[in-house]
Amino acid sequence: MASFLHAADLHLGMRITRFDPHTTGKVREARFTALDNILKKTRDLRVDFVVIAGDLFDDAAVDNLTARRAYEILDSFPVPVYILPGNHDPLLSGGVWDRPPWNQQPGKHIRLLNKREPVEVGPGLLLLPCPVLRKTCMDDPTAWILNASETNGTIRLGIAHGSLKTRDDLPLDDHLIARYAATEQNLDYLALGHWHSRQVFADPDGVERTAYPGVHEPMRFQGNGDGQTGWIPYGGAGRKEFLDDGRGEVLHVRIPNAKAVPQITALEVGHFTWLEETRALASREDLEALIQEVATREGLERRLLQLNLSGVLDAESTMRLEELREVLKRYQLGALDETNLHLKPTEEEMREIAGQGVLSRVLERLQNEGASSEPAVRQVAERATLLLYQIARGVKG
């Protein structure tokens, strides 16, 4: 019986370029918090070992502090942790695996899978690792397994990092793995890394033996695929394979014996929840309902929210946006985009507040510019009209 956790794509030291330093620090730290959650699952489930199928680090040149911290946490696990270099942290000369403490093998529990050769985990259980040697490669990393000797009654676990060839338009240098490699290489389970959402694939006999666990901690706003953090995958920007589904997960895999059907269970270990939402507003009631909803969600300190507003509001309702901004400050990150939200004060409201003097003449000019065919001019005019409305209310009130 083999019972283990399958993780991949932890991307410790993740490169983030589009957040403020405080938020960047929190997002990077969350990846370690999620790693601690994996440690807790290891203890709770009493698994035999842990497999990390590539990209433990975001880069082979990760800083020494991150490299050492990861080593110390993983070596504190109560069971062996088998770590495969991936395309973000390949086996490059002078890279993280060549530096202390990672070049001081073996650790107490850490086992770096840096050779393409069988590793006996215990009686009747064999690992067949496929370490990545460079960022890109045209060869199938699992091909060497064909030459590995087979032993009757042994559970064979392949560990690889790359793109399973499920379609023909995948990049040819993205470490392509044969679609039915598990069957062709006589594997009981193929633990993959590289793709960022959980995916499980069946072999021709219908048995699910090949799986990606996805990331252990989300990396992006859900609903948007353009990499708003500034992080770019080496396997190609914009590819759906590198869009996580908002959950930080690992897989608990149990295999009773050789040739048995693997039992695969997803476990949530993520820390932060990322979400991008777009709301269309048409009335004061819509805005009030949104403020109430956003303010009463649970666990705001563990949420990152990109909130995009669209629609048209009257001037008085629009003034309540400041209340929404204050609510968003309770989130770990709360960003508000009002680009597509437009101001529509009534003629009666504006005439009443502007009166007959200078403000009235300014209002007339803004209304003329608000009718411009240029979207940027209209937006400036609408925002200026709101500002005029606010100033006039302040003077009169």
pLDDT attached to residue 383: 72
Q: What is the mean pLDDT of residues 149-177?
A: 91
Which regions of 99-185 does DSSP assign to beta strands (E)? 110-112, 119-122, 125-130, 155-161
Residue that is written with structure tokens 């107490």 in the block = 108
Q: Single out the residue of 5, 71, 2, 87 nearest to residue 44, CA to CA.
A: 5
Check residue 16 and give its pLDDT. Answer: 84
The residue-averaged pLDDT of 145-157 equals 84
Confidence of residue 293 (pLDDT cuts 50, 70, 90): very high
Please state the φ and ψ torsions of residue 126, each to the nearest 5 degrees.
Answer: -130, 130
On the question of pLDDT at 396 being above 60, the answer is no
| pLDDT given at position 393 | 62
Looking at residue 343, the DSSP 8-state letter turns out to be: E
Dihedral-angle region of residue 123 (phi above 0 means left; psi in -120 to 50 means alpha; beta otherwise): beta
The whole-number pLDDT of residue 309 equals: 93
**What confidence category does residue 389 fall into, taking pLDDT thresholds of 50, 70 and 90?**
low
Q: Is 84 helix (H, G, I), strand (E, B) or coil?
A: strand
Average pLDDT, the chain: 89
What one-character-per-residue DSSP string does 157-197 give? EEEEES-B--STTS-TTB--B-TTHHHHTT-SEEEEES-SS
* Residue with the larger pLDDT of the pair 276 and 131: 131
Q: What is the pLDDT of residue 90?
A: 96
Residue 177's region, left for phi above 0, alpha for psi from -120 to 50, else beta, is: beta
pLDDT at 275 over 80: yes
> Predicted confidence band at 161 (pLDDT cuts at 50, 70, 90)?
very high
pLDDT at 346: 66
| Selection from 385, 291, 310, 384 nearest residue 345 by Cα | 385
Q: Which residues pair with 119 in a beta bridge?
A: 127
Q: Is the pLDDT of residue 36 over 80?
A: yes
pLDDT at 224: 58
What is the model's pLDDT at position 386? 67
Residue with the bigger pLDDT between 390 and 301: it is 301
Q: What domains appear along the chain, each with residue ranges and CATH number?
A: 2-268 (3.60.21.10), 273-396 (no CATH)
pTM, to two decimals: 0.84
State yes or no: pLDDT of 198 exceeds 70. Answer: yes
Phi, psi of 125, rounded to the nearest 5 degrees: -140, 120
pLDDT computed for residue 361 by the predictor: 76
Q: Between 227 and 125, where is the model more confident? A: 125
Alpha-carbon torsion, ordered 212, 216, 217, 222, to 10 deg: 20
For the chain, what percent of residues have pLDDT higher than 70? 91
